[in-house]
Amino acid sequence: RLVGGIAVATLALGAIGAAGAAAAPGKPSGPRYTAGAAGVGDAYFPYAGNGGYDVQHYDLDLRYTPPAAAPAPLEGEFEGVATIDLVATQDLDRFNLDLRGMEVHALSVDGKPAASVAPPLAGAEVDGAAYWHVQDDDARIWELTVQPRPKIKAGQAVQVVVEYGGTTTRPEDIEGALYGWVTTRDGAMVVSEPEGSMTWYPVSDHQTDKATYSFEITVPEGKVAVANGIQPKPEDTADGWTTWYWDAPDQQASYLTTASVGDFALRETYSSGSGVPIIDAVDTKLNAARLATTNASLGWQDEMIDFFESRFGPYPFVAYGSIVDNDSVGYALETQTRPVYSSQASEGTVSHELAHQWFGNAVSPERWQDIWLNEGWATYANWMWNEERGMRTAQTAYDNWYNTARPAGYWELQIGDPGELGLFLTQVYNRGAATLHALRLEVGDDAFFEAAQLWVERYDDSAGTSEDFQAVYEEVSGADLDDFFQIWLYDQQKPPTTWTTP
Ligand code: ARG
Ligand code: ZN
């Protein structure tokens, strides 16, 4: 396999920038500059995220032209300047960013330009400040390596500026689902779970490195660009281009970033309880039936926030609201403060994506194998919302789930480790929700909700594992939950109706 004319096998770790050797004990201390790792070590996506530094802030200055009318190809034109503030966590000789399908035009570190060079052969030295970009679609390796000069000391803050761009298409995730910067005829739907943010900005693309964001998105006049958070100032228009400003001051995982573009009508309201601004963007091209469904569903957001706050604790971010696109990627995504919906927003999905703001967004899954903590909770919160609305109790939803006949394979999936191709299987959602309902029956309502709130509070702005989650429930309830979680997350059979908690 060739990458820029160099066989990947001979690139070796040095070219991509995997971790160098640790400092030998007994040697005099002092800087030992090594390469930051090419991934954070997530078993499902080994090259997602990067090691050796911690991003503080991304400032994304984007200019985007949606495709021309059909029959022109469904491709957009994209130019970006990403300004990334990071702090080194080790003495850095090299470090990586993830970037897929875009070309880098220029790169600097603290104002010092780096030269574009071909990926070096294994072990080869590169002179001076430089960068190189390995993009291997077959191996799913997309790594932009930066060699800063001077080298960076542990604890040092630097600013990396990347000028980049290219033709946007419709990227696919490992399962073949659309994700990332998905070009649509009228704009773009930007939904990047699990590691699709690298299709539109240089990033440490893993939720263990959260950061704040600011956006300046320039689009042809008449188009609306909607990202996370709030508008710090109104858009401005000059020479046929409109620039939209958005600020996301809360810690945010990369997969939850959006900057969707379309023919949206923006409207702002406030939640009645805590007064969170709710900024919705609804495609003006929705047909009457979809618009009616969407408006009715979004009309519940305010009361849903109040209800979930009463169960899960304070709404965790500065703002909320929804982006409803006339186009579809086949699913909705809980992008932080501003979920994206395909074609229309149903009440059930709105409750699901809102609940993700606590479960998935404020507290993210530390490893992708912990995805049930996202989808189980969001599904369970929808069961709770249905009960609150007098539609069907959570107990009935659980009973229906439990009593439905399933093909044998259904019970074999370990929702606590579903595999990278199993992240979004129905078992992760529904067995995940049932796990939470069973846990509630096991520890009682008081402990169940107290622990839920403690979980969000303790791991807010951060990430946790299934083991961390079990520990919080054991701490609050005083119960030993080893058997419980073994049965529900890992046993490859239908959970029994009763089990013993020692
Ligand atoms: N997290 C989204 C939700 O449940 C689903 C994302 C599905 N993504 C995918 N690539 N299939 O709301
Ligand atoms: Zn979900």
- pLDDT tens-digit series, residues 173-191: 999 999 999 999 999 999 9
ipTM of the complex, rounded to two decimals: 0.97
CA-closest residue to ligand 1 atom 12 = 333
Ligand 1 lining (C-beta closer than 6 Å): 173, 177, 179, 193, 331-334, 352-353, 375, 424
Give the residue, out of 333, 340, 353, 423, with the most ligand 1 atoms within 8 A of its beta carbon, to mutate for a pocket test: 333
Give first-to-last CA distance, the chain, whole Å: 55
CA-closest residue to ligand 1 atom 3 = 333
For residue 349, the ligand 1 atom closest to its alpha carbon is 12
Among 219, 202, 243, CA closest to 83 = 202
At 22 the pLDDT is: 46
Which residue type, as a one-letter code, is found at position 278? I
Long-range contacts of 175-184 (CB under 8 A, 24+ apart): 175/421, 175/423, 175/424, 177/329, 177/330, 177/331, 177/424, 178/329, 178/330, 179/329, 180/100, 181/78, 182/329, 183/66, 183/67, 183/74, 183/75, 183/76, 184/66, 184/74, 184/262, 184/325, 184/327
Q: Which tokens go with 265?
A: 């009508």
Give the residue, out of 336, 356, 424, with the most ligand 1 atoms within 8 A of its beta carbon, to mutate for a pocket test: 424
Query: How many of the other CB atoms lie within 10 Å of CB of 327?
Result: 19
At 11 the pLDDT is: 45
Calculate the CA dihedral of residues 423, 425, 430, 433 and round it to 10 degrees. 0
Pinpoint the alpha helices (H) of 319-465.
Answer: 347-355, 372-388, 394-403, 408-412, 426-443, 445-459
For residue 380, the cross-strand partners are none
Among 494, 486, 478, 482, CA closest to 444 = 478
**Strand ranges (DSSP E) for 185-308?**
187-191, 211-220, 224-227, 236-238, 241-252, 259-262, 264-270, 277-283
Q: Which tokens go with 9?
A: 């096998």
Mean pLDDT of 95-107: 98
For residue 179, the ligand 1 atom closest to its alpha carbon is 10
Does 5 have pLDDT greater than 50? no
For residues 177 and 328, what is the distance between their CA atoms, to the nearest angstrom? Answer: 11
For residue 248, the cross-strand partners are 213
Q: Does the CA dihedral 327-332-334-339 come out positive or negative?
A: positive
Which residues are close to ligand 2, an ion, with C-beta < 5 A?
375, 378
Give the residue, out of 45, 189, 331, 334, with the most ligand 1 atoms within 8 A of its beta carbon, to mutate for a pocket test: 331
Of 8-17, 158-167, 251-260, the poorest mean pLDDT is in: 8-17
Mean pLDDT of 73-94: 98
CA-closest residue to ligand 1 atom 1 = 333
CA-closest residue to ligand 1 atom 8 = 193
Measured in angstroms, how far is the CA atom of residue 25 from the centroid of ligand 1? 46
Does 111 have pLDDT greater than 60? yes
Mean pLDDT of 17-34: 62
Which residue type, as a one-letter code, is found at position 120? P
Percent of the chain surpassing pLDDT 70: 93
Nearest ligand for residue 376 CA:
2
Mean pLDDT of 149-161: 98
Q: Which tokens go with 96?
A: 């990586």
Q: Confidence class of residue 6 from pLDDT cuts 50, 70 and 90?
A: very low
